[in-house]
Homo-oligomer: A and B are copies of this chain.
Amino acid sequence: MPEQVRRTGRKAPARLADVAAEAGVSIKTVSRVINEEAGVLPDTRDRVEEAIRTLGFVPNSMARSLKTGGQDVIGVVIDAISDPFFATLVSAVEQQAVRAGLSVIIASTETDAARESEQLLRLAGQQLRGLIATPVGEGSELLRRLRSRMPVVCVDRYREGLDSIVVDDFGAAQTAVAGLIERGHRRIGFVGADDRHQETSGRRLAGYRQALDDAGIAYDPSLVARAGPTSDGVFAEVDALLRHSEPPTALFTASARAATVCLDVVREGGFPQVALISFGNFDLAHLFTPGISCIDHDPRRIGRAALERLTELIADPSAEPTTTVLDTAYVARGSGELPGPEAPENRTAAVAAAEGGTL
């Protein structure tokens, strides 16, 4: 419809009254047709619809898009829509976007740098008002170049020179792993994606290492399982990890997906229970026995913050880039609270056993 408005050379968008005049009916009748109310003759309805098309009339909700002359569409580029974290993030963006009169184009990268470039180029060819993206790989120079054409906000990962909405991956991981150590775990496995596929995983690994360091526990690379984006790859890695000659008593995963794979491996392989903390909350986490303890980095909040920032940048394209670091919450549900071999109560039992006690 914007095309037609341009063609007729109108300055202001068509109004209800224009449609009514064009169709030769009352404003009330036009409103009835738009709202699909009863009591309009088929002939009249046809005439009104014809007038709506001719004038490129668009109801209130679309007025803003006509005023700016363009289509108010923003792009959202994420790893995968089928990943609940991103589905929820996109959902939050779309919810807010509708209120701001914006439509959302989605595109997924499948954490593949080549596909990311293809998707970004595709979006660059469309006249977007802005872009929200979870960049893949360190080399997304393309995103920076796009920034000269439209506002760009990175989510989940940050990029020098671009606006970013992130969480404190390092700090949240460090705190969670410190908790496992405090509860008596010494051999703690790390499960995450490799850097090529998800750099957040790398920062969460760094937090894990820091916690070990702080506690004077030597870093053991054989306890670190990192794989590509497929669940099968992660499954094999975790399976190997649990078959370790000195297996971990606790697992820390860099994603909810990895956590569910761990649950799968433990069950399928008949492995003894291990403590588990997931970086990333998930829908059914509370329904397991014990419930799965999570670091909740609320994708809804990330999505809302990203859209808010994007709206600011649309209003002021020359604004200096800022990085917003959102809080995370640790949700203790039991799996992260299982005591390790060095837990105070276990140590007492071990001492008792060594002394020929009740064991």
Residues on A lying within 8 angstroms of B by beta carbon are 1-3, 36, 49, 58-59, 61-62, 65-66, 71, 73, 80-82, 84, 87-88, 90-91, 94-95, 98, 103-108, 117-119, 121-127, 139, 141-142, 145, 260, 263-264, 267, 283-284, 286-288
Contact = CB atoms under 8 A, between A and B. Distances in A.
Contacts of A3: 127
Contacts of A283: 84, 260
B104 A107 contact: yes
Contacts of A287: 260, 263-264, 267, 288
A4 B263 CA distance: 54
CB-based closest 9 A-B pairs: A87-B87, A82-B91, A81-B91, A62-B125, A1-B125, A58-B125, A61-B118, A105-B105, A36-B141
B62 A105 contact: no
Given A91-B108, A98-B122, A263-B284, 18 more contacts: A3-B127, A36-B117, A36-B141, A49-B145, A58-B125, A71-B126, A80-B91, A81-B90, A81-B94, A84-B84, A84-B283, A87-B87, A98-B119, A103-B105, A103-B122, A103-B123, A106-B106, A284-B284
A107 B125 CA distance: 21
A198 to B, nearest CB: 18
Nearest to A86: B87
B36 A139 contact: yes
Nearest to A121: B59
A124 B288 CA distance: 45
Contacts of A123: 103
A107 to B, nearest CB: 7
B125 A2 contact: yes
Nearest to A119: B98
Given A71-B126, A106-B90, A121 B288 contact: no
Nearest to A142: B36
11 contacts: A58-B121, A61-B121, A61-B122, A62-B121, A81-B87, A81-B90, A91-B108, A103-B107, A104-B105, A104-B107, A260-B283
Nearest to A124: B1
A23 to B, nearest CB: 15
A159 to B, nearest CB: 14
Nearest to A289: B289
Nearest to A114: B35
A59 B120 CA distance: 11
Given A284-B260, A287-B264, A62 B122 contact: yes
Contact of A82 (B61, B88, B107, B284): B88
A87 B94 CA distance: 13
A134 to B, nearest CB: 15
A281 to B, nearest CB: 13
B94 A106 contact: yes
A240 B62 CA distance: 44
Contacts of A66: 125
Contact of A107 (B98, B119, B142, B264): B98
B103 A126 contact: yes
Contact of A108 (B1, B62, B95): B95
Contacts of A107: 94, 98, 103-104
A288 to B, nearest CB: 7
